[in-house]
Structure 1
Amino acid sequence: MSEKIYFNTSQKFSVKKSLVNLTTRLHHTLAPKHAEKTARKLLLTPARPEPKNSEPAGLVKAEVESKEGTLQTYSLGSGPVWVLAHGWSGSASQFYPLMEHIASRGFTALAYDHPGHGKSGGVYGHIPAFVNGLEAILDSVDEVAGLVAHSMGTASSIECHHQKLVDKPFLLIAPVLDYLDNLFGSVARSGYSMKLFNAVVSEIEEQYRYPIQSVDPYNKLKLRTAATIIVHDEGDKFAKFDVSERAAGEMENVTLIATKGQGHGRVMKCTEVMDSFDALIN
């Protein structure tokens, strides 16, 4: 259900949206604790779809322990490590084509399933959990050559302050640089009670001591000095292309590669992504 909320782009009035708003507000009024428990399950539980890409030959699976539970990792190739972080309701398998490309260039591609995603442990997914998971992955390797991230994985990667990422190049695919606007806008469009949503957010803030208003990928990207290439489709319905365009215009170290007809997901294995990786290593 959370996928239908976060990936809903319709601005039109609908009876269903009105009913969602009415029932969630009423639920929160009559039984606030039960409503918040239900909301956590609905809003923070990502989908775990079956992999759409075949496993590449030589793929090595392992596990890394994190604060959020056991994370499933997938590595391919040898040499300096590039870490790959997928987005909401995604999995490492989305990166298999890119991992093969990275391995062919003499690097190790290390992807993993975020907490609550794919084959990793955990139930809930959110920015603090994503950041904790990435930090555990970075702690598990000696050195990192660079990072690739997609969608919500881009926001959590920019949020991560791990020392191993400080001066490393980033390849950001369909990034969500306006994370807060994107998140709150998606929930509002679904008709879900914003008061109930804010209650869930407050609980996460308190649990992790991580104020949601501090999540600001756009302005934190400005502070990075290493090269960043953004690959973003002009027709992306879920992450705003014009925000990436503005970032490339304002930030000296950020380059935008625009695609057409690739959408939010297919763009992960398009030619422009492969070429952008080559540009970063060269």
Structure 2
Amino acid sequence: MSTNPAAAFYAGSGAARTVGAALRLLDRLAPTWGTRGALRLFFTPMPWKFAMRSPLPRPWMAERWAFEGTSLAWYRRDDIADERPVVLLVHGWGGSGAQMLALGDRLAAAGFDPVLLDFPGHGRSGAWRSTLPQFARALFAAAARLGPLHGVVAHSLGALAATHAAARGLPVERLALLAPSAPPAAFLEWFAHSFGLAQGLAARMRAQIERREGVGLAEFEPAWLGARVTQPVLVLHDEGDRVAPHAASVRLAASLPAGHLVSTRGLGHRRLLDDAQVAAGVLEHLQADGRGAAPMALPQR
């Protein structure tokens, strides 16, 4: 596993490395401006959203909602006319709702009404930058439009946002978390290290984020979440994930009173979204009766 998962997002291209060199210089000359520049980069999804756009297959249709001065794009099948339990599917950092199409089709065939969401700065949604607290606010906006949710199926940073939203009272019965990200405090340290930025920059970035968003990053840590999330939660994570460390899911699942961790091998970070056995596990969890997490298990590759 990579010792610095942030490098997969921010230091994997020549352009990003060039920007990193400029940030180091700016931070040496003017730390305040260096912090602002680092945050601007930190809040910019990579790859850019145009790279994640693809034509929608029928019967999926795209619509938009107004949200925080911009717009949220969401996708729904137009062949579902009857009242069905709504399941919201959300992507991770640098992803898009279209990554969840295979899962959405599987849920529709099983009698659910799947809704796929693009977070701000992603896919077909507006804006170019976004934050983890904004992800969580977008989930509340979606629930206000869609009504109480039967489930949320969330990947990567979207999974961390969904857990935080549930802790804050999101009306949802069940969560299925696919490769949830590590808490943002750890990712800030990885981000700063990936560009060789000055010691202490991550702390300055954290202070700015908490002041701007009005949310303490401690609220995304397992201890805080575990004391507040009571819904059944299925956590699916590959042991060889190089983007979101598997150990983070071990800690998160252990903190949740109704959490259940299933580990896979050979799927990495993104291939979970297209895996038939993972889809079957998510479906089993969403269909389970009672308040406990479904005691399912996936064959390991």
TM-score range, shorter chain: 0.7 to 0.9
Distance 1:68 1:39, change over 3 A: farther
- Equivalent residue runs for 1:265-276 within 5 Å: 265-276=270-281
Find the aligned partners of 1:74 and 1:180 in 2 and give their Cα distance. Answer: 32
Amino acid aligned to 1:6: A
Find the aligned partners of 1:197 and 1:247 in 2 and give their Cα distance. Answer: 23
Alignment match, 2:41: 42
Distance 1:30 1:219, change over 3 A: same
Alignment match, 1:59: 60
Alignment match, 1:240: 245
Deviations 1:9-36 (A, max 9, x none): 9xxxxxx98x957x63441242345434
Alignment match, 1:174: 179
Q: 1:262 aligns with which of 264, 267, 276?
A: 267
Which segment is superposed worse, 58-67 or 239-248?
239-248
CA contact (8 A) 2:181 2:244 kept: yes
Amino acid aligned to 1:234: E
Which segment is superposed worse, 117-126 or 23-32?
23-32
1:139 Cα deviation from its structure 2 partner: 1.0
Distance 1:173 1:68, change over 3 A: farther
Q: Secondary structure at the match of 1:50?
A: helix
Q: Secondary structure at the match of 1:229?
A: strand
Q: 2:153 aligns with which of 128, 131, 148?
A: 148
Identity %: 25
Provide the TM-score with structure 2 as the length reference: 0.79
Alignment match, 1:13: none
Q: 1:81 aligns with which of 72, 75, 86?
A: 86
Find the aligned partners of 1:53 and 1:145 in 2 and give their Cα distance. Answer: 28
**2:106 aligned with 1:101, yes or no?**
yes
CA contact (8 A) 1:72 1:112 kept: yes
Find the aligned partners of 2:55 and 2:71 in 1 and give their Cα distance. Answer: 23
**2:227 aligned with 1:227, yes or no?**
no
1:105 Cα deviation from its structure 2 partner: 0.8
Q: 2:193 aligns with which of 162, 184, 188?
A: 188
1:37 Cα deviation from its structure 2 partner: 4.1
Provide the TM-score with structure 1 as the length reference: 0.83
Gaps of 5+ in 1: 10-15
Gaps of 5+ in 2: 10-15, 289-301
CA contact (8 A) 1:36 1:200 kept: yes
Q: Secondary structure at the match of 1:82?
A: strand
1:198 Cα deviation from its structure 2 partner: 3.8
Distance 1:73 1:189, change over 3 A: same
Which segment is superposed worse, 78-87 or 68-77?
68-77
Find the aligned partners of 1:137 and 1:31 in 2 and give their Cα distance. Answer: 40
1:189 Cα deviation from its structure 2 partner: 3.5
Find the aligned partners of 2:179 and 2:268 in 1 and give their Cα distance. Answer: 9
Alignment match, 2:140: 135
Which segment is superposed worse, 238-247 or 87-96?
238-247
Deviations 1:80-109 (A, max 9, x none): 110112111111011011010011111111
Find the aligned partners of 1:40 and 1:247 in 2 and give their Cα distance. Answer: 26
Q: Secondary structure at the match of 1:112?
A: strand
Q: Secondary structure at the match of 1:140?
A: helix
Alignment match, 2:220: 215
CA contact (8 A) 1:115 1:123 kept: yes
Find the aligned partners of 2:238 and 2:54 in 1 and give their Cα distance. Answer: 21
Distance 1:32 1:173, change over 3 A: same
Alignment match, 1:164: 171
CA contact (8 A) 2:72 2:117 kept: yes
Amino acid aligned to 2:104: M
Q: Number of aligned residue pairs: give it.
A: 269
